Chains A and B, each alone.
Chain A
Amino acid sequence: MADKASNAPDEALSLEPRGEDLLAICFTAMASPCEVLLPSTTAPTAALELGTLVAQEAWRVEKKFSRYRSDSVTAWIHENRGTAIEVDRETASLIDFAGQCFELSGGLFDVTSGVLRYAWKFDGSDRIPERAAVARLLPRVGFNKLQWRSPRLLLPDGMELDFGGIGKEYAVDRAYDSLAVRCSAPFLINFGGDLRANRSPPHGPWQVGIERPDTDRRATMILDLNHGALATSGDSRRFLLKDGVRYGHILDPRTGWPILHSPRSVTVAASSCTEAGLLSTLALLQGARAREFLEEHGVRYWLLQ
């Protein structure tokens, strides 16, 4: 989710035409530009109403799970470390999901790995941490160290929970569900590049532009989407460079050190944005084996080295 603190969501929604066939309702959430695309034949009042539904769901999820907000469930969980608490159903299902991903990924996907940021500051410099500094943080990482039996959670002292890795994609799916019951027209929801569409508009598939992280020579890649979700995980802007070795910001929670030789970005197509986001993150965590991982799992993907 957001990398910089956002104390209040930007409440403004704007309506913009997109070519001849589409209408976009735009807003900002989770520090990303968000939009809902609808056919241009939609009446403006209906479009604003539907756009508001989506925006409100995005702001709700952001407010509830952001680690930067003092009034979020995440903050409340952290305030109550060391004691058993009872979480609501939505939080419980997210923690269940995080647990399943932890198991299925062999420990690579770990929502408790956020504490490693105390050792690693990815500011493009060559200041990599001391081995001892990283080693001191490792005992505070490990989903298996939580005491979790839905809905009761006990987060040990020193540990943190961070839903940032799946929050934006989860928000896309939640917004999608709330819109799908109200809207039978074709639509596409896009939160900063994580997106999902119900079906293609009459003029042809949705044309999705995926921006290349370090725009040197490569132009935007255009994909055609009929329906389903796309999520992109990337490694480009935040890194450290020392002695010719590039330390990307994707860290292996088992060692505390960056995964080497990851692709710069992975875009995955799946039926839900959460699934797509998870697969793209897991792929990046495989480092040099990212492509093999995606091939083995029969995933539709686009990879940039």
Chain B
Amino acid sequence: MQLESETRLAKAAHTRRQLMAASCALLGAAAARGQEARVAPADSGLLENWSVDSALAYYHEDGRIQAIEPVVNIAKLFADGQALNFNVTFDSLTGSSPNGALTSRSAQTFASPSGKSSHAYTTAPGQLPVDPHYQDDRIAVGGNWTLPVTRVDQLSVGAKLSDEHDFFSVTLDASIAHDFNEKNTTLSLGISEEFDSLQPIGGAPVPGSDYALFEKTGHKSKNGVGALLGVTQVITRNWVSEFNVSVDRFKGYLNDPYKITSIIDSAGNTTGYEFESRPDQRTRKSAYWENRVALGGQVSTGLSLRYMRDDWGVRSDTAQLHLRWSFSNRERYVEPTFRWYRQTAANFYTPFILNTEALTTAYEASDSRLGAFHALTYGLKYAQKLPGLGGREESEFSVRVEYYQQTFNVRTPTPAALQGLDLYPGLKAALVQVGWRF
């Protein structure tokens, strides 16, 4: 919907009412009062038939993982306001994934998680240890049903399933939304429950156990519960703002079964490794604020901020800005985006363990995703309208590219013997996605 200045819209609404009144006077039709035509328009996808949104993405990390991801989302809106939505995502990832160990001045050899000798791999001196046989295919399906309960209340329930060869997850969620203040304000409350089952290749390691001993136990699981409270407010005709706070708590086996931490001596030599050991509970709280502003006929912008903290000591801030510029009579648009992210390390994050301390540490993990880093993402999207399929008015084709750059901020002092090595290389990644919505 085009958002215009308040006086212009108010004037148009006044004119509309006068036109309606003039028609009513002409027809003397009492039936016109309070009853509007309820029609499902074809060109915004709200039709008895399903509207389809499909995309194919290719993701590539410099020297690491690459992934292909096709996604299909189909939606149907019914005349009484009920809505149904299904989506299917398929991910195929291959490449090299850091195993958490520290770069060393000597070569290092690792067993693969499966224990197969053919998959053992060696890392050259001075290189970051990565498992080059990383491979994972994932399929995820999700569905959501929205039901208007009264003219101002909506109930929504959803479910998601995700399956990979070593991980299976089910999430259920429900939310209610209430409009008031002439639909200028919407309050929503949601809850969700997640059940995850892990079947790591070769078994789940005992947390904190010695890598060489390969102590594995069987399948593991974790559960999470979450709640969200949000408010969306139309502030002016040009500016819509949404604010929400959420909390979630996960319990169970929260370790990454494939990550290890290097144990080093005072000379910087790696003397051994141990599997990571994370607490079996994690509570996260976050606050999110999003703004969408129309700057004129062709330009709109959005700014969102997110703050998160958890009881592992991780705190993160995200700021995201996008600008959409439409041209050729709204037939096409370009949308540059920029995202800034910063995260502090978990309390028990440590890139390595000094062998004199090994026994005193309760929890430890060297997974870089729990470390301190900041990341910048630059993106550009181009979309244009195309003829529609079947009885549709039009469809939209889009192409999006993104460049992601992550830099670590490790506070742990580097042991003298390892000075000069690039211990915490960052990550550079690019994404290209083409999409078609019809």
Contact = CB atoms under 8 A, between A and B. Distances in A.
B39 A224 contact: yes
A18 interface: no
A302 B84 CA distance: 23
B411 interface: no
A302 B26 contact: no
Contact of B37 (A227, A274, A278, A296): A227
B381 to A, nearest CB: 22
Nearest to A275: B23
B31 A297 contact: no
Contact of A104 (B4, B22, B32): B22
A104 B12 contact: no
A296 B4 contact: yes
B23 A221 contact: no
Interface of A: 93-94, 96-97, 100-101, 104, 170, 173-174, 177, 180, 200, 204-205, 217-230, 269-272, 274-276, 278-279, 288, 291-293, 295-300, 302-305
Nearest to A289: B297
A177 B31 CA distance: 9
Given A97-B25, A275-B23, A299 B16 contact: yes
B17 to A, nearest CB: 10
22 contacts: A93-B25, A97-B23, A97-B25, A97-B26, A104-B22, A173-B29, A217-B387, A221-B391, A223-B41, A226-B38, A226-B79, A228-B39, A271-B31, A271-B37, A272-B27, A275-B23, A276-B37, A291-B330, A292-B4, A298-B16, A300-B37, A302-B41
B360 interface: no
B288 to A, nearest CB: 29
A101 B297 CA distance: 26
Contacts of B295: none
B20 interface: yes
Q: How large is the interface on B (under 10, 10 to 19, 20 to 34, 35 or more residues)?
A: 35 or more
Interface of B: 1-2, 4, 8-9, 12-13, 15-16, 18-20, 22-27, 29, 31-32, 35-43, 47-48, 79, 297, 329-331, 387-388, 390-393
B50 to A, nearest CB: 13
B19 A180 contact: no
Nearest to A305: B329
B32 A271 contact: yes
B22 A223 contact: no
Contacts of A222: 42, 47, 391
Nearest to A100: B22
Contacts of A225: 37-39
A247 B392 CA distance: 28
Nearest to B80: A226
Contact of A302 (B12, B24, B32, B393): B393
A163 B13 CA distance: 26
Nearest to B42: A221
Given A173-B29, A274-B23, A224 B37 contact: no
Nearest to B393: A221
Nearest to B328: A305
A181 to B, nearest CB: 11
Contact of A219 (B13, B331, B391): B391
Nearest to B37: A228
Contacts of B79: 200, 205, 224, 226
Among B39, B40, B41, max chain A CB count under 10 A is at B39
Contacts of B22: 97, 100-101, 104
A197 to B, nearest CB: 9
> Chain A CB within 10 Å — which of B16, B37, B391 has the most?
B37
A170 B47 contact: no
Give the one of A177, A227, A292, A297 with max B CB within 10 A: A297
A272 B23 contact: yes
Given A223-B40, A223-B47, 4 more contacts: A104-B15, A228-B38, A297-B12, A305-B331
A218 B331 CA distance: 17
Given A228-B38, A296-B4, A271 B20 contact: yes
B37 A269 contact: yes
Contacts of A271: 20, 31-32, 35-37
Query: Nearest 4 pairs between A and B by C-beta?
Result: A228-B37, A296-B12, A275-B23, A269-B37
Contact of A223 (B31, B36, B39): B39
Nearest to A224: B40
Contacts of A275: 19-20, 23, 32
B31 A180 contact: yes
B37 A297 contact: no
